[in-house]
Structure 1
Amino acid sequence: MANIIAILLGLIALILAFIGFIPLLGWLNWFIILIAGAGAVFGLMSEKNGGRNFCLLVMAICALRLWIGGGII
Protein backbone atom coordinates (compact mmCIF):
# COMPACT_ATOMS: atom_id res chain seq x y z
CA MET A 1 0.00 0.00 0.00
CA ALA A 2 2.84 2.39 0.80
CA ASN A 3 4.34 1.76 -2.63
CA ILE A 4 1.06 2.79 -4.31
CA ILE A 5 0.96 5.99 -2.25
CA ALA A 6 4.56 6.70 -3.22
CA ILE A 7 3.79 6.21 -6.91
CA LEU A 8 0.71 8.47 -6.68
CA LEU A 9 2.69 11.21 -4.95
CA GLY A 10 5.41 10.81 -7.57
CA LEU A 11 2.88 11.17 -10.38
CA ILE A 12 1.42 14.30 -8.82
CA ALA A 13 4.92 15.72 -8.43
CA LEU A 14 5.81 14.82 -12.03
CA ILE A 15 2.70 16.53 -13.39
CA LEU A 16 3.52 19.64 -11.37
CA ALA A 17 7.14 19.42 -12.56
CA PHE A 18 5.98 19.97 -16.13
CA ILE A 19 4.44 23.24 -14.96
CA GLY A 20 7.67 24.08 -13.12
CA PHE A 21 9.61 23.90 -16.39
CA ILE A 22 7.83 27.02 -17.65
CA PRO A 23 10.15 30.04 -17.36
CA LEU A 24 9.62 32.12 -14.19
CA LEU A 25 7.82 29.24 -12.46
CA GLY A 26 10.98 27.45 -11.36
CA TRP A 27 10.27 28.30 -7.72
CA LEU A 28 7.49 25.69 -7.91
CA ASN A 29 10.18 22.99 -8.00
CA TRP A 30 10.98 23.61 -4.31
CA PHE A 31 7.42 22.58 -3.48
CA ILE A 32 7.58 19.63 -5.86
CA ILE A 33 10.75 18.34 -4.19
CA LEU A 34 8.86 18.28 -0.88
CA ILE A 35 5.98 16.30 -2.41
CA ALA A 36 8.34 13.82 -4.04
CA GLY A 37 10.29 13.60 -0.78
CA ALA A 38 7.13 12.62 1.05
CA GLY A 39 6.54 10.00 -1.63
CA ALA A 40 10.08 8.71 -1.17
CA VAL A 41 9.43 8.34 2.57
CA PHE A 42 6.36 6.26 1.82
CA GLY A 43 8.45 4.28 -0.65
CA LEU A 44 10.98 3.56 2.08
CA MET A 45 8.24 1.99 4.18
CA SER A 46 7.31 -0.36 1.34
CA GLU A 47 8.92 -3.68 0.52
CA LYS A 48 9.17 -2.71 -3.15
CA ASN A 49 11.55 -0.10 -4.53
CA GLY A 50 9.60 1.19 -7.54
CA GLY A 51 7.75 4.04 -5.85
CA ARG A 52 10.79 5.22 -3.95
CA ASN A 53 12.99 5.17 -7.05
CA PHE A 54 10.35 7.03 -9.08
CA CYS A 55 10.08 9.77 -6.46
CA LEU A 56 13.87 10.05 -6.26
CA LEU A 57 13.98 10.43 -10.04
CA VAL A 58 11.38 13.22 -9.93
CA MET A 59 13.36 14.92 -7.16
CA ALA A 60 16.54 14.70 -9.26
CA ILE A 61 14.79 16.21 -12.29
CA CYS A 62 13.46 19.11 -10.20
CA ALA A 63 16.84 19.64 -8.52
CA LEU A 64 18.50 19.76 -11.94
CA ARG A 65 15.96 22.34 -13.08
CA LEU A 66 16.63 24.40 -9.97
CA TRP A 67 20.37 24.15 -10.48
CA ILE A 68 20.10 25.31 -14.09
CA GLY A 69 17.80 28.20 -13.13
CA GLY A 70 19.91 29.36 -10.19
CA GLY A 71 17.45 28.18 -7.54
CA ILE A 72 14.63 30.57 -8.31
CA ILE A 73 13.92 31.12 -11.99
Structure 2
Amino acid sequence: MGLISLVWGILALLWMVVAFIPLLGWGNWFVIPFAACGALIAAIGLLFTHPANRGRAKAGLLLNVGVIVVGVVRLSLGGGLF
Protein backbone atom coordinates (compact mmCIF):
# COMPACT_ATOMS: atom_id res chain seq x y z
CA MET A 1 0.00 0.00 0.00
CA GLY A 2 2.87 2.34 0.74
CA LEU A 3 4.39 1.94 -2.71
CA ILE A 4 1.01 2.45 -4.38
CA SER A 5 0.40 5.67 -2.43
CA LEU A 6 3.89 6.94 -3.20
CA VAL A 7 3.48 6.33 -6.94
CA TRP A 8 -0.02 7.86 -6.74
CA GLY A 9 1.48 10.94 -5.06
CA ILE A 10 4.18 11.28 -7.72
CA LEU A 11 1.55 11.12 -10.45
CA ALA A 12 -0.55 13.72 -8.62
CA LEU A 13 2.52 15.96 -8.28
CA LEU A 14 3.26 15.71 -12.00
CA TRP A 15 -0.37 16.48 -12.78
CA MET A 16 -0.24 19.48 -10.43
CA VAL A 17 2.84 20.82 -12.22
CA VAL A 18 0.95 20.62 -15.52
CA ALA A 19 -1.99 22.43 -13.89
CA PHE A 20 0.33 25.37 -13.10
CA ILE A 21 0.53 26.17 -16.81
CA PRO A 22 -1.73 29.10 -17.67
CA LEU A 23 -5.11 28.03 -19.09
CA LEU A 24 -4.65 24.53 -17.65
CA GLY A 25 -5.60 25.48 -14.10
CA TRP A 26 -8.85 23.54 -14.50
CA GLY A 27 -6.69 20.45 -13.94
CA ASN A 28 -6.67 21.29 -10.22
CA TRP A 29 -10.34 20.30 -10.08
CA PHE A 30 -9.25 16.77 -11.02
CA VAL A 31 -5.94 16.56 -9.18
CA ILE A 32 -7.45 17.34 -5.76
CA PRO A 33 -9.79 14.30 -5.67
CA PHE A 34 -7.06 12.18 -7.27
CA ALA A 35 -4.62 13.13 -4.49
CA ALA A 36 -7.34 12.61 -1.87
CA CYS A 37 -7.69 9.00 -3.04
CA GLY A 38 -3.92 8.63 -2.78
CA ALA A 39 -3.97 10.04 0.76
CA LEU A 40 -6.70 7.58 1.68
CA ILE A 41 -4.63 4.69 0.31
CA ALA A 42 -1.63 5.95 2.30
CA ALA A 43 -3.69 6.17 5.49
CA ILE A 44 -4.88 2.59 5.01
CA GLY A 45 -1.27 1.60 4.37
CA LEU A 46 -0.21 3.24 7.63
CA LEU A 47 -2.87 1.32 9.54
CA PHE A 48 -2.00 -2.12 8.18
CA THR A 49 1.79 -1.89 7.82
CA HIS A 50 4.33 -2.89 10.42
CA PRO A 51 5.76 0.21 12.16
CA ALA A 52 9.25 -0.47 10.81
CA ASN A 53 8.01 -0.44 7.18
CA ARG A 54 5.85 2.69 7.12
CA GLY A 55 8.30 4.99 5.33
CA ARG A 56 6.76 4.79 1.87
CA ALA A 57 3.24 5.17 3.22
CA LYS A 58 4.26 8.25 5.22
CA ALA A 59 5.99 9.74 2.18
CA GLY A 60 2.94 9.03 0.03
CA LEU A 61 0.64 10.62 2.59
CA LEU A 62 2.77 13.77 2.87
CA LEU A 63 3.09 14.05 -0.90
CA ASN A 64 -0.63 13.67 -1.51
CA VAL A 65 -1.57 16.09 1.28
CA GLY A 66 0.92 18.60 -0.10
CA VAL A 67 -0.63 18.32 -3.55
CA ILE A 68 -4.11 18.82 -2.07
CA VAL A 69 -3.01 21.94 -0.16
CA VAL A 70 -1.24 23.49 -3.15
CA GLY A 71 -4.18 22.65 -5.43
CA VAL A 72 -6.69 24.28 -3.08
CA VAL A 73 -4.50 27.37 -2.70
CA ARG A 74 -4.07 27.58 -6.47
CA LEU A 75 -7.82 27.34 -7.02
CA SER A 76 -8.56 29.93 -4.35
CA LEU A 77 -6.04 32.40 -5.83
CA GLY A 78 -7.41 31.93 -9.32
CA GLY A 79 -11.00 32.39 -8.20
CA GLY A 80 -11.97 28.79 -8.93
CA LEU A 81 -13.48 28.06 -5.52
CA PHE A 82 -16.02 30.89 -5.33
Q: Which runs of 5+ in 1 are unaligned?
A: none
Q: Which has a greater percent of helix?
A: 2
Q: TM-score by structure 1 length? A: 0.88
Deviations 1:3-62 (A, max 9, x none): 111111111111111110111211110100111111001000112322111100111111
Larger-Rg structure: 2
2: CA distance, partners of 1:16 / 1:51: 15
2: CA distance, partners of 1:64 / 1:3: 26
Q: Which residue of 2 aligns with 1:19?
A: 18
Instruction: Kindly report which structure 2 residues correspond to 1:1-73, keeping only aligned pairs within 5 A, or say none.
Output: 2-47=1-46, 48=54, 49-71=58-80
Q: Which runs of 5+ in 2 are unaligned?
A: 47-53
| TM-align CA RMSD | 1.3
| Identity between Structure 1 and Structure 2 (%) | 35
1: CA distance, partners of 2:2 / 2:73: 25
1: CA distance, partners of 2:6 / 2:29: 19
* Structure 2 residue identity aligned to 1:37: A
